[in-house]
Structure 1
């Protein structure tokens, strides 16, 4: 099925696929609720792994097909996306320009020098810093400057969540559905962190293509519900048009977002985020991050405790990665 829809699109091999689908017995026991599974997309490879690797298979594939020699993208200072774009570019011999914005203010030296930013420097990205600005026009201006110097830039949007990048999670969603089927696991829901929207959009398209009764619940990491739904819908419709899928009414209606676990804002973990990171580490040796997966796990835990998911059910937690940023948030952990 994946070959039919995805084969026409340029793609490179990056992801260590299939990523593992593991049962979290000790966490499930501690929460006294459903059986929780984790889809280990923190283990996709590529400078520590993470969900962006799936998107980059198609984004870098398109860049190479267009004979690009430079990739340009943006993110916050501790952007997982920026790290993985830089790593993918290095692997395929491309130059990288990162626009890192001060989206998260008031952080200390660790945030400004450790974590993903340290890895960006190690991977030899050309880093440009800016305040809390709208990145798209700045990226467009940088691209024009590069063209004027005779280079062939490819601009990758924040999070890689355009029509091309979203195809990565069409493939990832179909992979997950195949694993659940092989194990005979009838999961009700996949829960994950949703930010730029492409991961959720791709998962939803995969369920539509496979005719699967699997709900997709995005735990927002920054935006309120309607704004986040809009991001997901934009990515979903763009990707659907790219691969020739119409009749999206049922899929549009299935875009589910919970924004109650954002905490103080994007890149700012709440106490419940830190608690979720701790329980995942202490019960399963599973490392989450304070910006994305920690908030998603906080949402899943709260929903289990509220009775949304119960004993006898199976729920999948999609681990989108990000533990590389933990060192930048050391001050949030009293260790």
Structure 2
């Protein structure tokens, strides 16, 4: 394995399933659709961050850390999985959530069940709050380890190089031809940069297409994904350079903004549920699926293509009152 030399702690149920979606393919009348089910990684409800946390927590343990600290939005899936990893491995966990205290639902319920210490940033900057908590834990003798947003640094991104190796092995075992594109939700860049490097190293010509959930195209492709891909390659001692032109990002589905679920996301969530019994989330996979559906309807993705939708998790957010009401108001 390309990342086998890195410290790693087993947290995820791997390999995650690789499945065809024949009813969804028929409903959309075109491309052959498959799904890689990283919502089934298992840790505290699963999701793509669990792969990253296997490497990040191993690094934390190597450094003698006692407390994991990270940050995110109130319904952050990354924070929930970090809390799960901390509980399983015996770390303390502090989660800095953006804004002011909100209703206890969805991922917040799970964070509390998992024993995480939730700190609301309020009107403070997230950076200032993280620095203050890091110093507090350090002073108290609970050596802290700071995990970046989404677990997206070279250590975390390396997990998705390994994930691409996993996918290649599954395709070989099932004698599947290459996919034309892999489509998924992209935001903090770790998943996409790892996939991009993995595809290159494996010699795959598959397009790695990130549907942005919150950032303009150039910012995500150049400032985040390409930059992190190059940092990860350097971290692993690999040759090659990635530019923004090498990164496929579609930022045409930002809708009303981050975490605002519109009609397109609702349609996508309902369609996946009612054709394949697959649960998407309102913020990430729902938006990525909405983008995929629109690209198929407009034939920007050809009817003869083979497409892999990489499910990154997030279903607990479905159980927040605002999203639950939107999804069921006419049902």
Q: If the TM-score is normalised by the length of the shorter chain, which range does it land in? A: over 0.9
- Note if 1:240 corresponds to 2:233: yes
* Compared CA separation, residues 227 and 167, structure 1 to 2 (3 A): same
CA deviations over 1:42-85 (Å, ceiling 9, x no partner)? 00010110000000010001001111010000000000000000
* Compared CA separation, residues 132 and 11, structure 1 to 2 (3 A): farther
Q: Give TM-score, length-normalised by structure 1.
A: 0.94
Contact (CA 8 Å) 1:136, 1:157: kept in 2 or not? Answer: no
Unaligned stretches of 5+ in structure 2?
A: none
Counterpart position of 2:120: 129
- Note if 1:181 corresponds to 2:175: no
Distance between the aligned counterparts of 2:213 and 2:4, measured in 1?
A: 32
Instruction: Describe how 1:195-214 pairs up with structure 2 within 5 A.
Output: 195-214=187-206
Correspondence for 2:251 among 255, 259, 265: 259
Correspondence for 1:330 among 279, 304, 324: 324
Contact (CA 8 Å) 1:215, 1:254: kept in 2 or not? Answer: no
Distance between the aligned counterparts of 2:51 and 2:232, measured in 1?
A: 14
Deviation of the 1:169 alpha carbon: 0.7
Deviation of the 1:138 alpha carbon: 2.3
Unaligned stretches of 5+ in structure 1?
A: none
Question: In structure 2, the residue corresponding to 1:192 is in which secondary structure?
Answer: strand
Question: In structure 1, the residue corresponding to 2:45 is in which secondary structure?
Answer: coil
Deviation of the 1:181 alpha carbon: 3.0
Counterpart position of 1:304: 296
Correspondence for 1:190 among 182, 193, 200: 182
Distance between the aligned counterparts of 1:140 and 1:190, measured in 2?
A: 37
Contact (CA 8 Å) 2:187, 2:220: kept in 1 or not? Answer: yes
- Note if 1:21 corresponds to 2:11: no
Correspondence for 1:63 among 60, 63, 78: 60
Question: In structure 2, the residue corresponding to 1:113 is in which secondary structure?
Answer: coil
CA deviations over 1:233-258 (Å, ceiling 9, x no partner)? 22212211110112224x65321111
* Cα root mean square deviation, aligned: 1.5
Counterpart position of 1:289: 281
Question: In structure 1, the residue corresponding to 2:209 is in which secondary structure?
Answer: strand
Counterpart position of 1:218: 210
Q: Give TM-score, length-normalised by structure 2.
A: 0.95
Contact (CA 8 Å) 1:180, 1:187: kept in 2 or not? Answer: no
- Count the aligned residue pairs: 325
Contact (CA 8 Å) 2:218, 2:244: kept in 1 or not? Answer: no
Contact (CA 8 Å) 1:219, 1:261: kept in 2 or not? Answer: yes
Deviation of the 1:299 alpha carbon: 0.5
Deviation of the 1:142 alpha carbon: 1.1
Deviation of the 1:133 alpha carbon: 5.3
Correspondence for 2:37 among 29, 36, 40: 40
Deviation of the 1:263 alpha carbon: 1.0
- Note if 1:167 corresponds to 2:189: no
* Compared CA separation, residues 290 and 35, structure 1 to 2 (3 A): same
CA deviations over 1:279-331 (Å, ceiling 9, x no partner)? 00010100000000000000100011111223332100000000011011212
CA deviations over 1:207-265 (Å, ceiling 9, x no partner)? 1111111110000011111111121122212211110112224x653211111111111
Contact (CA 8 Å) 2:39, 2:45: kept in 1 or not? Answer: yes
